[in-house]
Amino acid sequence: MQKSHFSSFHPPQRKLLGPGPSDVNPRILEALSRPTIGHLDPLFIGMMDELKQLLRYAFQTENEVTLPISAPGSAGMECCFVNLVEPGDKVIVCCNGAFGGRMKENVIRCGGEAIIVEDPWGRAVDLDKVEAALKANPDASILAFVHAETSTGALSDAKALAKLAHDYDCLTIVDAVTSLAGVPLKVDEWQLDAVYSGTQKCLSCIPGLSPVTFNERAMEKVKNRKSKVQSWFLDLSLMLGYWEGEGKRAYHHTAPINPLYGLHEALCILQDEGLENSWERHRIQHNSLKAGLENMGLNLSVPEAERLPQLNAVIIPDGVNDAEVRGELLNKYNLEIGAGLGDSAGKLWRIGLMGYSANTGNVLYCLSALKAVLDI
């Protein structure tokens, strides 16, 4: 085979205002470049312990089992399902967007029975429908729902959903991929049992890691399983030998060392800013973007009371070509916004203001670029 000639890849400097990844804070990029050490090095293990404590702050929990899975948010989702769902388990799954559908797939692949509570895309999960499903299925053991639906920009009431679940003796599995650090998420106060997130959204870290947290109720179910977890890699009983072992830790896998440096730095940045300040910054920047869009005659698709500040679903005006606008924004302005998914493809733009991307300069740049492209 003839030798190929390639040179180093140097990407352009984009402004990432889509559904993720978000712009990466320069402090995190610097952290990623630090010297690689062994994944069982005592200094690295010390950093792992700090990481768990920093994640507890971000999740607002004291859960002992709080750690980053060495894979993206989809693996965090799968970790929750494969550890908590056994063959024959009945799981009520709330579907109000694309990621509720992925939860359903996980239940099926674990051998469980998925009972679907369906709501329109772009709306929060309906509490009355959930309670009706819980009443109709007294043998259900888990309620699964997406807190912040990335596909639509809808925010559901995680506190109320968890209370409903516990009233009917169910555990909760919660998708917080887009909500962590962007809107209030209080794992202990709201009694959320198993929660997973991602690093590339409001934490402004690179993609590839998935923070998870399991409370004692959830771990009790894990410990009392009748069957083996179907995934070797995501089996918590094996993984915790590495993340929680005292003294000599059991080898499970070679951790992604430099990405974990990056997550540690991201969580230090969050700690420096303060969690409540991060929530407020996302809210302020959302309001600025909303005002600018409305001034241009553009509207958001999600009702205000159910709207995510960090993921803004914008209705595309009649006669405007979705792909052409996004292409011009990318090629002319180095600005990325997201397309709609599923039935909303061609009908919505998804503008993310997440983490380091949620700042006044980005809001103004996005509005001015959109105005120029749309010739408004």
3-class DSSP string for 288-348: HHHHHHHHCCCCECCCHHHECCCEEEEECCCCCCHHHHHHHHHHHHCEECEECCHHHCCCE
Characterize the bridge pairing of strands 210-214 and 154-155: unpaired
pLDDT of residue 244: 86
CA atoms within 13 A of residue 314's CA, in its CB half-sphere: 31
Quickly name the fold that domain 15-21+275-374 has. Aspartate Aminotransferase, domain 1 (3.90.1150)
Phi, psi of 116 (to 5 degrees): -95, 130
Q: Would you state the pLDDT for residue 246?
A: 63
Q: Does the annotation list 123 as a binding residue?
A: no
The secondary structure of residue 228, as a DSSP letter, is -
Q: Give the helix, strand, coil percentages of the chain, each rounded to 5.
A: 40, 15, 45
Spatial separation of the C-alpha atoms in residues 186 and 368, rounded to whole Å: 36
> Which residue matches tokens 């997550």?
263
The phi, psi pair for 243, rounded to 5°, reads -80, -20
Query: What is the pLDDT at residue 36?
Result: 98
Q: What is the pLDDT of residue 345?
A: 94
Q: Report the interhelical angle of 42-59 vs 257-273 (nearest 10°).
A: 40
CB 243 within 8 A of CB 290: no
- Measured CA to CA, the distance from residue 194 to residue 172 in angstroms comes to 6
Domain ranges in the chain are 15-21+275-374, 26-270
Report pLDDT digits (tens) over 314-367: 999 999 999 999 999 999 999 999 999 988 999 999 999 999 999 999 999 999
Contact 109, 165 (CB under 8 A): no
pTM for the model: 0.97
In CATH, the number for domain 26-270 is: 3.40.640.10
Query: Do the strands 148-149 and 154-155 form a parallel or antiparallel pair, or are they unpaired?
Result: antiparallel
Q: Token pair of 372, please?
A: 């120029």
pLDDT at 62: 98
Q: Between the CA of residue 75 and those of 79, 81, 175, 211, what are the distances in Å? A: 6, 10, 12, 10
Per-residue model confidence as pLDDT tens for the chain (376 residues): 788 889 999 999 999 999 999 999 999 999 999 999 999 999 999 999 999 999 999 999 999 999 999 999 999 999 999 999 999 999 999 999 999 999 999 999 999 999 999 999 999 999 999 999 999 999 999 999 999 999 999 999 999 999 999 999 999 999 999 999 999 999 999 999 999 999 999 999 999 999 999 999 999 999 999 999 999 999 999 999 999 866 678 889 999 999 999 999 999 999 999 999 999 999 999 999 999 999 999 999 999 999 999 999 999 999 999 999 999 999 999 999 999 998 899 999 999 999 999 999 999 999 999 999 998 7
Quick check: do 15-21+275-374 and 26-270 share a fold? no
Residue 211 in 3-state DSSP? Answer: strand
In this structure, which amino acid lies at residue 140? A
Q: What is the pLDDT of residues 296-318, one digit of tens each?
A: 999 999 999 999 999 999 999 99
> What per-residue confidence (pLDDT) applies to 249?
84
> Residues with Cβ < 8 Å from 274, sequence gap 6 or more?
none
Contact 267, 278 (CB under 8 A): no
